[in-house]
Amino acid sequence: MLTRKDYLMRYIELLGDYLRRRAYGKQDDELDEEVAAALQMRLEELEDLSEEWLKSRLSTGDEVDPWRALMASELALSVGELRMSEERPLAAAFLFERAATCLDWAMGGDLGPAAARLAKHLGALSAALRTADVDAASRASVMRRAEEAGRFSVVEDLLFDLASDGWEDTLTWGEPYYERLGALEPDALHDGGVDPADLADDLADLREQHAAAGPPRGRGLAPEA
């Protein structure tokens, strides 16, 4: 008999085929229904529900189901990329932000075997966030989760983007981050995509970029009036 995890892993694998078909503009009603059954919501609701309601729909009892949250994050990213190809950048940015939120929920729980999907998804989501007009909170959230997953090159990409946009927490977050990296073994750093020999230079570059950026600007970083 299939366990609940077996059941969800089956649909997580199906999701890969679903996303590839969507990316090429193809639709499969039967697969739509299967993915919707795994998420326990209509696919349109991922785009339409408020964050509060989405969280409740992805929860069992009072806790978010990390498996379904990861699926929702992957799906939101894919649909966001589709919206971008349709030249609907605002809709794409909304979905990329939603993908970041769902990923944050997912990584707050035990993903078990599904955790193997994180590296690829973190890289793809980071790349999408860097091409869209998304808020600082979404980029910072993915950056922090990427560090947890050991994807240090992803962290650096997002951190330097935030620095160039004048993120006020650039150094209060970035300096301790490089201290944490300095305490890791070289193999762990190489596995995460950074060179241990470059850490001091990277931190110096971050400080320089932050100083040159000036006041916050763009992508949700403008100060309130």
Give me the phi and psi of 204, to 5 degrees please: -65, -40
Write out the chain's pLDDT in tens, 225 residues. Answer: 445 556 556 666 666 666 666 656 666 677 677 777 777 777 778 888 899 999 998 888 889 989 889 988 988 888 888 888 889 999 999 999 999 999 999 999 988 877 888 888 999 999 999 999 999 999 999 999 999 999 999 999 999 999 999 999 999 999 999 999 999 999 999 999 999 999 999 999 999 999 998 766 555 443 332
pLDDT at 121: 92
Q: CB–CB of 102/72 below 8 Å?
A: yes
Instruction: Please report, for the chain, the start and end positions of each structural domain, with discontinuous segments joined by +.
Output: 1-117, 135-225
214 half-sphere exposure, CB direction, 13 A CA radius: 3
Q: CB–CB of 68/40 below 8 Å?
A: yes
Distance of CA 132 to the CA centre of its chain: 13
pTM: 0.84
pLDDT at 16: 61
Report which of 150, 158, 151 is spatially closest to residue 174, judged by C-alpha positions.
Answer: 158
* Helix pair 118-129, 136-148: axis angle to 10 deg: 160
Report which of 110, 32, 34, 113 is spatially closest to residue 69, judged by C-alpha positions.
Answer: 110
